[in-house]
Each structure stands twice: as structure tokens, then as C-alpha cells.
Chains A and B, each alone.
Chain A
Amino acid sequence: MHKIRGTALAAVMASLTLLTAGCGQGLLGSDDAGSGENKDEPIILGMLIPQSGSEAAIGPYMSNAAQMAVDEINEKGGVLGRKLELKTADDACDPQTAAAGANKLVTEGIAVSVGGYCSGATLPTLPIFNKAGIPMVIPVANSQELVDQKLKNVFLINGTGGQQAEAAAAWMTKDGAAKAALMHDNTSYSKDLALRTQKLLDEPGGPETAILEAVTPKESDYSANINNVLAKKPDYVYWTGYFQEAGLLARQFRQAGYEGKILVGDGSVSPKLIEIAGAEAADGVYATMTQTPETLQGAESWIANYKQKFGSDPGPYSNQSYDAVRLAAEAITKAGGTDGEKVIAALEAIDGFSMFSGPLKFTPEHTLSTGGFQILVVKDGKFVLQDPLQ
């Protein structure tokens, strides 16, 4: 009797130990690389991108480029002898979908998150990844709000809103603007950029702010807003929202007889802008933008590789997504494993890692030390480099 009870107790104890071990595996599934576990298991990178919704066109540009980086690294033997694997999830540029997608990626045991396009949708994923101890290398989303969360697992490799505002103000000053109208769509990223630009314009020198105008996104007729803006007689209009409204605004501004210049933010850089506005109205539209494949120096072979692999040209943010994967791989290598804390420390320690945007070193806020924004212009139906603003 006594003996049997002893055995039962032992069995219970054993299963308890197993259970806790199992839990540990589940919760911290990624940190066992350092403790020399199964080398056959791939290291999984997760990527949240818009695959549906209004920004769905961007998704493939990002995931293709990321996959290309993964394949290249795997051809060279992978990371720490393990293969890399990319898992994508749809954020639909929508906060709720993004949160669900982030939770899905966490349960799939990703080591590092390398996604994030729409700032509004990326924001709610920050605490999810933070709680799971997963470092984030965000390739595109760049609202100041992401920085303001002050989470130590979050790294931004795209220029921030503040840096873009500086580029916009610098360009308008350089181009001799006198009165600039700032227009946004009331979303966090767009409004932030417009307000930051306004702050810069308030300083002496350069153009002054003619008007700060908010529009409702997803409408067709902006004549009322345009009427408001034109009443203030600006010679520059800076639109900080996304490309659909940018196309409509450019067209309707020209129809309303506006003859000044139009500048748009990086969310508007898309061939769709030109299609919606029509070639005539889009011609000469300027944009503040980080490097795109077309404006990169010495990226011809990279572009050719991409084209050969996917049968189409790389697009906006392909290069940033490619770099995000390479950076994540580098950090895991330096950390000697996928332990979140160690990878974060490795990312913080990185100095001079070569990326398309130049040698990388993070600021204490985990942002780029220089934004790398440049000015593009629409010429012959395409965005081309106007001024690198160096």
C-alpha cells in the first residue's frame, strides 16, 4: 500500500516536471538555441504585412524581398548552422487584424519579427511581441508613436516621422516656397508628420504654414477641402497621407486651377498615385521618400536577382524588408542564439552593419541616426530621384 502510494507520487511528480518543462518550451520556445538544442529546427522569422485591404499592393514587395534575403542566407549555410524560415501574416493595415496576426506568429514560435508597414496597425503588435520577448526589426512603419512606447525590443530601420518632416521642410525651403499648405488624413502617422512639419515651418526662415487641413480618407470628392486650401493661396501643398487620396488630390487641385507645387509623403509613393491622378496631373509631383530600389546606387545586380526570382520589379520598401531579414540574421549570429534578450543586446551593439540606407548604428531610441530621406519627382509617369538632400 505504502509502496504503491510512493510510486503514484513519483509518477505525479514526474508528470509535473514534464508539464513545467513543456510549458517552458511553449512560452520561451525560441530561447533554446543557445542551450544547444535541435540543430535541424529552422529559425523562424515572422513578418506582418498588408496582404489585403487598401494597402495590399505593398505586401508582396516586402515579403518577396524578405524571402530573397532568407534564401540567400540559407544558401550560405544559414544562421549558426540552422536554416532560416520566413512566416508571413496579414495585418490588412488594420489594428485588430494586426493584433490577431501577431498572436498567431508568437504561437508559431518566431525568433524575430521583421514586419510592420502601417504604423497604426503595427502599434498594437508592439506589446504583444514585447510580452513574448521577441525582438522587432520594423522595416517600414515609422510613426513617432512607435518610438514613444519606449519598448526595448522595438527597432526601426526606416527614417522616423521627425526625420521626414525635416526633409520636407528642407526641400520646400530649398525650392523657394513661401507659403505651404499641410494636408493630412487624421490617421496617426499622417497627422504626426503634418504637425511636425508645421513645427519646423514655424521657425524663422523657409516657408510659413498657410493652412493645416484634414481630409476624410476614402472619399472621392475633395473639392471642399481644396477650396479651403486655395483660399489661402499657397505655392506648395504637402500631403502626408496615402496614395489613393494623393492621386485624387493631385488631380482635383489641378482641375481647380492650382498652379503651385505638390509634395507628398512616403505613404503616397506608388505607381497607383500616377494612375489615379492621370499622367498630366501627376507630372512634377514631389515626394519625401526613403531609398527605393530605383534610386539606390549600385543595386543593379540586386534588382536583377529580384526580377529573375519573382518575375517583376522590386517596389517600395523591398530593400528595407530585405535589410530587416539580414539584420535579424546578423543579430542572431552575434547573440549566438535566439534568446530575445541577447538578440536585443546584439542589435543595440551593432555598429556599421552595411545596409542600403548606409552603415547602421541605432540611436538610444532604437531609430536610425540619419533618416536617409530624399526627394523624388514624377517624371514621364515614374518616380525618379530629384534631390538626395545630402
Chain B
Amino acid sequence: MTQLVWNGLFVGSFYALVALGYSMVYGIMKLLNFAHGDLYMLGAFTGFAVLGAAGGVSVTMALPLLLLVLVLTMGTTGLAGVLLERVAYRRLRGAPRLSLLITAVGASFALEYGMRAAAGADPRVYPVRLGGTSLEVLGARVTLQQLALVGVAVVLMVGLNLLVTRSREGRAMRAVALDPRAAALMGIDVDAVIARTFFLGSALAGAAGVMAGAHYGKIDFMMGFLIGLKAFTAAVIGGIGNIPGTMLGGLLLGLLESFGTFWLGGEWRDVFAFGVLILFLTVRPTGLLGERVTERV
């Protein structure tokens, strides 16, 4: 039982990290950025390239080195996210939402197959792996490295929450999310705020990508597709646009999958997870913590 909970929370923390970017971008510009999962993939490959450039490293140095790679990758994928917004979305500001959505799907394919052209279709394996010296905690097998990864995820999420709720930049983001036009009238540079949002969301997805690469080992150009869908589901469950809600949604989806597999069997896991998505979309589209938004004119 505790094993089920731990498995769910571990997978869920990845979902939550990726889902945050989805949720923030949606909150600010009402865009479902379907290319977001591919930024996770981009992060995994960036980390792979940086590690490759660092050359052979002893195992004892693995954790500090990975942290350094993590920071570098977050910067790179963050900038990639900003670039993506600049190239693919900014010109469509004010265009019908459907155009943005279709552009997002196009951007997703461009990233996936661009990576395939650049790195090949073969899966790659991380040169530095987080091994597994596992210990028993309340009957569940947990590795120290898993704990470290969850710790990093928690630190990133708490940091993000502080940034959004306590800083000037965060206040600007919230203002733009509430009403972009009014925010612009108050002297907020909306484009800059949107770029910043993309940077933060993409950096988190990139961090999740590196962590997945280091933990699971295998990366390939399509790895962002499925997790992108799962992250979207997590964001909807928790309340898209709402940051604590999204984190909750990620963890909850991880738990749902873990218990769904246990109760119904492996072939029903995705049916169960996406069934919950449909349920939420029909019964409570604002998600668990999302507020009911009064229709704005």
C-alpha cells in the first residue's frame, strides 16, 4: 500500500513539474501549449548533450554534476521556451484561439521531428545514471536518489510559488492573467511578462526532462508526447491556471494511475487516467482548486 502511494507520488512529481508550465501559460494567455511536453524532451536531450560534453565523470561526482547540469538545462530550455513563444505565438496574439491551438500542435511536431533529424530516431542512454541503493520506509522501497529527485521537484515548486505570490514579477504575472488589457494600461509590459512565464514553465519542464533522463536512463524524441498529455490531464484535474491546484493535480494523477493499475490491471491504467480527465471536464471543468470564473466581456 505504501509502495503504491510512493510510486504514485514519485511519478506524480514529474507530472506536476511539467503541468506547471502548461497551467501558467494557460492562466496568462489562455493557450494550451501542446508543445510543452516537447520542451521536457528538449530538456532531456540538452542534459544529455551537456553530460556528453563533460566527458567521463566518476560516480561519486554524479549528484553534484547532475545538479549543475540541471541548472544549465533549465536555463537553456527556458530560453527555448521564450524563443518558441517569440516565433510561433507572439504574432498570433489576438488571433482566434483555434489558430493558436493549431500552431501549438505544429510547434510540437516541429520540435519532435526536428530533434529526430538532429539526434536520430534511436533511443539514447544517459551516461550518468542515478543508481538505486534502496531502503525500506514504512514497507515501501525507496531509493535515496528518488528522494533527492522529489526533493528537487518540491524545491522548484515552492520556489515558483514564492516567486509568483511574493515578487514584483509575480504580481505582474497575476495581473496579466487577470486582465491583460488593464495590466497594460497600468504600465505592465505584457509581452515581457508572457516571455517570463514561458521561461519559467519551460525551465521546469526541462528540469523534469533531465531528472527523467538521469533516473530512467532512456530518452528519445517522442518521450514528451505522452507526458504532455498526462500533464494536461493533471492541470485540468487540479485546476488549470491555478499553481497550487496544478501541483496537487500532478500528484493526484500519479496516485490515480498507481491505484488504477492496482485495482483494474495495467491495460486499464490509461483508460482510468483519461476517464478521470473526461469526468472533470464535464462535471467540474475548473478542476479541484480552480475558481469559477465569471464570464468576462
Residues of A within 8 A of B (CB): 52-54, 56-57, 183, 186, 213-216, 218-221, 223-225, 227-228, 231, 244, 247-248, 251, 254-257, 272, 275-276, 278
Contacts and interface: CB of A to CB of B under 8 A. Distances in A.
Interface string B191-206: 0000000000000000
B38 interface: no
Nearest to B267: A214
B216 A248 contact: yes
Nearest to A92: B121
Interface of B: 3-4, 7-8, 10-11, 14, 116, 120-123, 125, 129, 132, 134, 141, 143, 212, 216-218, 220, 222-223, 225-226, 257-258, 260-262, 265-267, 269-270
B56 to A, nearest CB: 16
Contacts of A186: 267
Contacts of A218: 222-223, 225-226
Given A213-B266, A220-B218, A244-B220, A227 B258 contact: yes
A59 to B, nearest CB: 10
Contacts of B269: 216, 224-225
A272 B187 CA distance: 55
B205 to A, nearest CB: 14
B216 A221 contact: yes
Contacts of A215: 266
18 contacts: A54-B121, A214-B266, A214-B267, A216-B270, A218-B222, A218-B223, A220-B216, A221-B7, A223-B11, A231-B262, A244-B123, A247-B218, A254-B132, A255-B134, A255-B143, A272-B122, A276-B217, A278-B129
Contacts of B121: 52-54, 56
Nearest to B11: A221
Nearest to A191: B267
A contacts with B: majority SS: mixed
Contacts of B3: 227
A224 B122 contact: no
Contact of B220 (A54, A221, A223): A54
Nearest to A93: B121
Of B134, B216, B226, B262, most A-chain CB atoms within 10 Å? B216
A83 to B, nearest CB: 32
B262 A224 contact: yes
Closest 9 CB pairs of A and B: A214-B267, A224-B261, A220-B216, A223-B7, A56-B121, A255-B132, A225-B266, A214-B266, A275-B125
Nearest to A57: B122
A56 B122 contact: yes
Contact of B134 (A57, A231, A257, A272): A257
Nearest to B215: A220
